[in-house]
Structure 1
Amino acid sequence: MVQLAFSTNAYTRFDLPEAIRRIADHGYDGVEILADVPHAFLADFDERDRERVLTALDETGLSVSNVNANTTRGYYDDAPPSAFFDPTLISGDEEDRRWRIDYTKAALDFAALVGAPAACVASGSALPGTPPDEAYDHLLDSLDELTDYAERVGVDLGIEFEPELLVEDTEEVLTLIDDVGSDALGVNFDVGHAAVCGEDPAESIRQCAGRITGVHLEDIAGGRGGKHYHLVPGEGDIEFDPVFGALDDIGYDGFATFELYTYPDDPDDAARRARDELADYVR
């Protein structure tokens, strides 16, 4: 049966142990850890930080659903408030790309430490000077190395497709997985991203059967083809009954994690309302 988790990326005004404890207070079974500032930016995350996280997990009994390494705003001294992907696995600069590969390895190591089944990463966008075909070659090379590493540490790596990135929909992520050809690579399936791409999320889930490393949940106003802004379920137009029906159909029994970073002013309220809205699907 699917279990519900909540991502710490909604709790950016709290430190990571406090975010974990607050999420536990709302009755969740799992927590997704943001591998970026202000929580676990792994380039600066020392042994004491790790011990504090392990203590919070032990005290709350929460499992870690996923380590979210999609963004690396901590790389910059003056990162803007928007989600920041660069450097990425497709960066044209070899040194930047190497940094991102090594950072993703650190995320896999951290996932192994906290007992998470997977870490996720996004492709990033093909920036000026790096045509999409060249960027895709960089992505394949990066993932060849990363999947070898993931197999060694025993943690899956999920690619999260997202509108306007190099890998932005179900067809593209499944093609990528086939091209890489590693059982350690799957898709961190974001229900809202599928909807924004104009896809039927339930049908997309069925297409990804056997390849889903984790699920992100949020609502989208306008449903299929709507604007990319994460909402608490019930505030948008996604129908979640067919989504959970599809997860049941494919035998998915992992975590479904609410990703509601758009509610930094009152993440406790968002966590409570989100769970109340969809709790019946996991009872």
Structure 2
Amino acid sequence: MELAFSTNAYTNHTLPDAVRRIADHGYAGVELLGDVPHAYFPEFDADDVAALGDALAETGIAVSNVNANTASGYYSDAPPSAFFEPSVINPEADRRTWRVEYTKRAIDLAASTGAPSVCLSSGRPLPGTMPDEAYDHLVSSLHAILDYAEPRGVQVGIEFEPELLVECTDEVLTLIDDVGRDNLGVNLDVGHAAVYGEDLRESIEKSAGHITGVHLEDIAGGIRGKHYHLVPGEGDLDFDVVFDSLDSIGYDGFVTLELYTYPDRPDWAAKTAFEALERYF
């Protein structure tokens, strides 16, 4: 396993600056935020790609994942919170298509930077859309995305989250089975499993063989705590259990800290988190 840090903590910095700062803290990998203000794909042009490439080459840091969970740049007045719309389950076909194409651009960025995966959330069923209908949209959208990702050697990891259409380990594993494609897996956010009330060892062990990447943060209150990402050591999760379980299933990919809740203190969050977890690596 290798430790990475997501640029979504550095939303007050440019993407190249975020990459350099994360590398300076000793991380082996960096996750790229596929949204404003970093890589919002309708506006992320060749100059941006070149500047990112320069930062990656200069630091030698690897890209752990492209995080395409949100697309808040779609809105001119989006509030400062995670936005999943337009999602791949939106009832309007043109909006689903927009999100599928957006995810394809994330796959392009992953392929060009050597990232093994792109993560994607299911989104929430909107009022008037029954969950069964939303699920059909999800499966159809995923096939289009996976058709594009497969020849480019990029895996797609669904990140489950409480209150979304796919919100726990069993649901994401059912989806993987229903879709039946080798390059679809789970981007396992350990904190999300905890908030849902899952046993972390059981969640990790059930996901064995399907994990495209791991997101990590601490949660106050532990199992069934509130969904607010904290620096490891500030909450109540048992990281001995987390890393022992990942070791037991032979997971050898990236573990990425996702601490978007610290936009005003990203360097402190990156440094403190690294010091709290470096013994596991």
Partner of 1:166: 165
For residues 139-184 of structure 1, what are the alpha-carbon distances to aligned partners after superposition, in whole Å with 9 as ceiling and x for unaligned? 0100111111111111000000001000000000000000000011
Partner of 2:219: 220
The alpha-carbon deviation at position 115 of structure 1 amounts to 0.4
Gaps of 5+ in 1: none
Instruction: Name the CA distance, whole Å, in 1 between partners of 2:151 and 2:23.
Output: 31
Partner of 1:205: 204
Instruction: Name the CA distance, whole Å, in 2 between partners of 1:178 and 1:187.
Output: 12
Instruction: Name the CA distance, whole Å, in 2 between partners of 1:166 and 1:43.
Output: 26
Partner of 2:118: 119
Partner of 2:128: 129
Instruction: Name the CA distance, whole Å, in 2 between partners of 1:246 and 1:147.
Output: 29
User: Which amino acid in the other structure matches residue 236 of structure 2?
Assistant: D
- Residue 189 of structure 1 aligns to a residue whose secondary structure is strand
- Residue 42 of structure 1 aligns to a residue whose secondary structure is coil
Partner of 2:50: 51
Instruction: Say how many residue pairs are matched.
Output: 281
What is the aligned-residue identity percentage?
A: 67
Partner of 1:25: 24
Partner of 1:88: 87
Instruction: Name the CA distance, whole Å, in 2 between partners of 1:201 and 1:26.
Output: 28
- Residue 42 of structure 2 aligns to a residue whose secondary structure is helix
Instruction: Name the CA distance, whole Å, in 1 between partners of 2:68 and 2:200.
Output: 23
Instruction: Name the CA distance, whole Å, in 1 between partners of 2:202 and 2:279.
Output: 21
The answer as to 2:228 corresponding to 1:229 is yes
Gaps of 5+ in 2: none
Instruction: Name the CA distance, whole Å, in 2 between partners of 1:48 and 1:276.
Output: 35
Instruction: Name the CA distance, whole Å, in 2 between partners of 1:102 and 1:153.
Output: 15
Partner of 1:271: 270
For residues 177-227 of structure 1, what are the alpha-carbon distances to aligned partners after superposition, in whole Å with 9 as ceiling and x for unaligned? 000000110000001000000001221010000000000010000111000
Instruction: Name the CA distance, whole Å, in 2 between partners of 1:216 and 1:201.
Output: 13
Q: Which runs of 4+ in 1 moved over 2 A?
A: none
Q: TM-score, normalised by structure 1?
A: 0.99
Instruction: Name the CA distance, whole Å, in 2 between partners of 1:68 and 1:201.
Output: 22
Partner of 1:155: 154
Instruction: Name the CA distance, whole Å, in 2 between partners of 1:202 and 1:279.
Output: 20
User: Which amino acid in the other structure matches residue 127 of structure 1?
Assistant: L
User: Which amino acid in the other structure matches residue 278 of structure 2?
Assistant: A
